[in-house]
Structure 1
Amino acid sequence: MRGYKQVSTEYLDAAVGRLPTLSRRRRVLVATTFILLVALLFAANGARHFVPASIPSSFSSSSSGEKSNPKPSANLHLLIPADRKDVNLCKTMLSAAVAGYPTPTLINWGAKFDDKSLVAGGSHLAKISGVLEYLRTLGPERDDDLLLLVDGYDIWFQLRPSALISRFHAINNAANTRIRQTMGSKAAAAEGISQNIIFSAQKRCWPWKPEDPPCYAVPQSSLPDDIYGPETDTDIGFEKNPYVKFRQRYLNSGDAMGRVGAMKALFERAMEKAEKDRNFGSDQKIFSEIFGDQEFQREVMRQRHRSVFQKVGDWSTGRKSILNPQSERRMREHKQGKPDEFGIGLDYASLLGHPTVFAEEDSAWVTYNDPKSIAQASAELNIAPVRVHDLAQDITDSQPPFRPAVVAPGSIFPGDKTWRDVPLYTNMWTSVVPGLIHHNAHRDGLKSLRVSVWDRMWYFNYSRKLYESNAAGSVGPVAVVHDDEGREQAWWSPIADKGGAKSDKNEWLPWDDICKEFEGEVFRDI
């Protein structure tokens, strides 16, 4: 099974940020002035003191092919905040099991959220406190484990965990390259800035306003600035969704993935904010504020470490800083050190998970061995020429869809089918097949899609037997991938039991206790 070196980087490192530029004549004048300035500095200080500014290179992974010692195995923790039984929770659990993910831990199971003085009865804040309590039970020896956190009532799993873990590494590597380019290598190295946590991204900044750091201070999307054509990032007058042509740029907290150690620090800060104002609002509001503050302070660090050449470069290119006071913007204190740094970044291309809110017209279910289905879906979304052609290698290299490790009695699966033979939810603009589908679109009754398109998932017709096969399977790693040094690493479930879930109180919750009453809708075979 190949690792994340096989993931396409077309949308991982496409855009560092489109900065405003000066006119051609002025650029020539500035460049001439800059050369003269460098010459003067060179003459004044002597050749041995002149060090040209380094130019960050784009990310390139090792391709030597040499074998190296495997890394120690680690755990992939799957957390689902869910306090009650629900048919949609059962669809989330079923899809995770069939796709091969670890047995989930249900956060806040059985809790009551009925405090009328708090938003949503306090459930949003309990998501923070519940996850933090779980993280606090993990010792420092688990800091390099991975944590996958997903909403419990509107997320479906589509791809294997190997693809998700590979993409997690690839996104972070590309982001670290962008960090060095935007902050400067000196600042990034001196402050130890790197990305360790990924949230999904959405098109609208919510619930903050444009003058707040979660909206104005965050980086531009790494998607190409013409991904939706010449009207990208503009309101085209579509009343139902003014953001239809906007790129994903803002934090969505429906799914997040990160190293356990980094997630601990993040949730400790989130809890501090929640306790300061118990009615602060949603977890998304808190996490997006933390992200906005982080990005504001990264610019403070960049300014602090700029060399004279970088300052001249900023001026010559017309680069504008978010630190420049503007009457409508809410500015932040310029802090020493990096107290607001948490290594957060966003999944701009929706490689991990795709929030459907404000992106209702972006995707379709297509079968890659059926070009007609791709052409039809593209035409229905007014996409020409067709952009979707073939599957990413991290998908085709993963375990085939209908080959479980153990086959439950009475099961017959189409084992010859590949990922190209099954319907896959695909962003028709970017050609990305996301690992997770987040059904958070809500306008015009779109939450009903959790019922109407459930039968389009690749496993639907075999879901009961696939679930039974997963539950009967032996204990083994959920994924084996390679890191950027080519070292193989196995990822395990922290819970050996299958066929249900664990509560955050370590109580075993069998499938039948949670989902038996909903099987008519979940399986639709009775």
Structure 2
Amino acid sequence: HLLIPANQSDANLCRTMLSAAVCGYSTPTLINWGVEFKDPNLDAGGSKVGKIVGVLQFLRSLGRENDDDLVLLVDHNIMFQLRPDVILSRYRRINAEANARIRKEMGRAAEEEDIKQTIVFSAQKQCRPLEDDDPACYAVPQSTLPDDIYGPGTDTDIHDPKNPYLKYRQRFLGSGSAMGPVRDLRRLFERAFKKMQQHPDIGSDQTIFSLILGEQEYQRDVLRIKHLSAWERLWDWFGRTARPTDPHPTHHRMEVAAAGTPFEFSLGLDYASLLGHPTVFAEDDTAWLRYNSSADLKAAAQNQQIVRPQATALPDDVARSPPPFRMGVDHANLPFNTSWSEVPLYSNMWTGVVTGIVHHNAHRDGLKSPRETGWDKLWLQPYARRLLSARMLEPIGPVAAEGNVTWWSMYLEKGGAMTEKRQWLTWNSLCDGKEDKLFRDGQGDWVDPR
């Protein structure tokens, strides 16, 4: 399931849908389509918390036979650049590594309390819009990125007037993208909905999910201590590092919750931006790179003054993915044999990660404009019209395969989107009049070739 909260169409939504279709993702479901958000007291008129209600209603509508289905939830202003097979394998890898850390750090509590990770949200550098003394900020784990990833100034304010968070690692929740199974996401969104009702003044879904993550991590430490023996407690005290439950003069303690209130939601973060990369506070970490050009790689590193650049070779999982222009049909003279190393890829210069999803949510100096300028740099844009037509002519097939498991779109329809009320919206009904911002080829309306 590909879910996109969007109550109306604009060029950003059409870019998201176009890049998803070309890369081979499921036909999307539009959440909150046609709903008006006009509350002057809430962020974006209430659309951000409305996202919680809309997604929850959709998840509730799915039967228990869908509990193991995977959901990819993205904001309507993102761009896909990698195929679903890469996203799926990375999602599994992120969770496998997280679960190994959980077992190591929590000991017996991990098994006794069934603590694991199945839901992955994107990660960003600042705990926003909350305060440092909130559990959402102080209780969450440290980033798994190396503690010297940005050199000796890592995790410090280097007093850059444009971006004081330039050298911070991604540690905090960003709500622009999330991935997980229907069963666990339903539980998470039920909790988010209740929290939204308890705090009607909170106008941001990111705030609510950040609070839930902070409470989960605080409670995990409570459970870790609960399952320690007397000897382990003594050893833990002598060799201790700072813990969320430690007394602190300014930290806000967790609210006392009613008996039976769940705190464990199998929730974690994509610290390395393997799935999606929020550009906010990370505007200067990235570049568009062609990995077959050593000159381009060297120039990008010099431009960003990176002494030890990590973006030096195409990641193996991207190289193994079917080539970018390889389709199920031969259509319109596409460069089928072009490899991933020959196309520009949005890459993190410090980590070497080629992210699957680019989320242009940076707001410094009007930097959301890279949604416009970055679109031209995306590998698929110059061929977008032909690529979309080729996807329409392909026979129906799985979105991706992993071992003995194949993943299919929820819908047989292609070339548009389904609303959560099962209303089919064609591509032209959504994106007519936006061709100049999408295809930029002067050829007018896209015509479905079927």
TM-score tier after normalising by the smaller chain length? over 0.9
**Superposed displacement of residue 309, structure 1:** 3.5
| Kept in 2: contact 1:118–1:278 (CA 8 A) | no
**Superposed displacement of residue 332, structure 1:** 1.7
| Kept in 2: contact 1:106–1:503 (CA 8 A) | yes
Q: Does 2:46 correspond to 1:122? A: yes
Residue 317 of structure 1: aligned partner: 239
Residue 372 of structure 1: aligned partner: 295
- Any unmatched runs of 5+ in structure 1? 1-76, 483-487
| Kept in 2: contact 1:200–1:256 (CA 8 A) | yes
Question: For the residues of structure 1 that align with 2:412 and 2:47, how far apart are their CA atoms?
Answer: 29
Residue 354 of structure 2: aligned partner: 433
1:328–1:393 Cα change, 3 Å: same
Question: For the residues of structure 1 that align with 2:209 and 2:310, how far apart are their CA atoms?
Answer: 34
Question: For the residues of structure 2 that align with 1:442 and 1:315, how far apart are their CA atoms?
Answer: 43
Q: Does 2:121 correspond to 1:174? A: no
- Any unmatched runs of 5+ in structure 2? 443-450
SS in 1 for 2:238: helix
Q: Does 2:328 correspond to 1:405? A: yes
Q: Does 2:29 correspond to 1:105? A: yes
Residue 274 of structure 2: aligned partner: 351
Query: What does 1:90-489 align with in structure 2 at a 5 Å threshold?
Result: 90-152=14-76, 154-184=77-107, 186-332=108-254, 339-408=262-331, 411-482=332-403, 488-489=404-405
Question: For the residues of structure 2 that align with 1:407 and 1:286, how far apart are their CA atoms?
Answer: 47
Structure 2 letter corresponding to 1:290: I
**Superposed displacement of residue 121, structure 1:** 1.5
SS in 2 for 1:391: coil
| Kept in 2: contact 1:439–1:450 (CA 8 A) | yes
Residue 498 of structure 1: aligned partner: 414
**Superposed displacement of residue 333, structure 1:** 5.4
Question: For the residues of structure 1 that align with 2:394 and 2:134, how far apart are their CA atoms?
Answer: 49
User: Can you list the C-alpha shifts for 1:474-493, whole angstroms capped at 9, x where unaligned?
Assistant: 111010113xxxxx210110
Structure 1 letter corresponding to 2:20: A
**Superposed displacement of residue 307, structure 1:** 1.9
Which one is further off, 310-319 or 469-478? 310-319
Q: Which has the higher contact order (CA 8 A, sep 6+)?
A: 1
Q: Does 2:18 correspond to 1:79? A: no
Structure 2 letter corresponding to 1:375: K
Structure 2 letter corresponding to 1:151: D
Residue 525 of structure 1: aligned partner: 441
User: Can you list the C-alpha shifts for 1:14-73, whole angstroms capped at 9, x where unaligned?
Assistant: xxxxxxxxxxxxxxxxxxxxxxxxxxxxxxxxxxxxxxxxxxxxxxxxxxxxxxxxxxxx
Structure 2 letter corresponding to 1:256: A
User: Can you list the C-alpha shifts for 1:304-358, whole angstroms capped at 9, x where unaligned?
Assistant: 0112332233233232322122121111257788821000000000000000000
| Kept in 1: contact 2:309–2:352 (CA 8 A) | no
Greater Rg, structure 1 or structure 2? 1
1:293–1:129 Cα change, 3 Å: same
Question: For the residues of structure 2 that align with 1:107 and 1:262, how far apart are their CA atoms?
Answer: 19
Question: For the residues of structure 1 that align with 2:153 and 2:347, how far apart are their CA atoms?
Answer: 22
Structure 2 letter corresponding to 1:499: G
State the identity as a percent. 53
SS in 1 for 2:432: helix
Question: For the residues of structure 2 that align with 1:104 and 1:326, how far apart are their CA atoms?
Answer: 46
| Kept in 2: contact 1:221–1:348 (CA 8 A) | yes
Structure 2 letter corresponding to 1:206: R
Question: For the residues of structure 1 that align with 2:433 and 2:231, how far apart are their CA atoms?
Answer: 68
Question: For the residues of structure 1 that align with 2:243 and 2:367, how far apart are their CA atoms?
Answer: 39
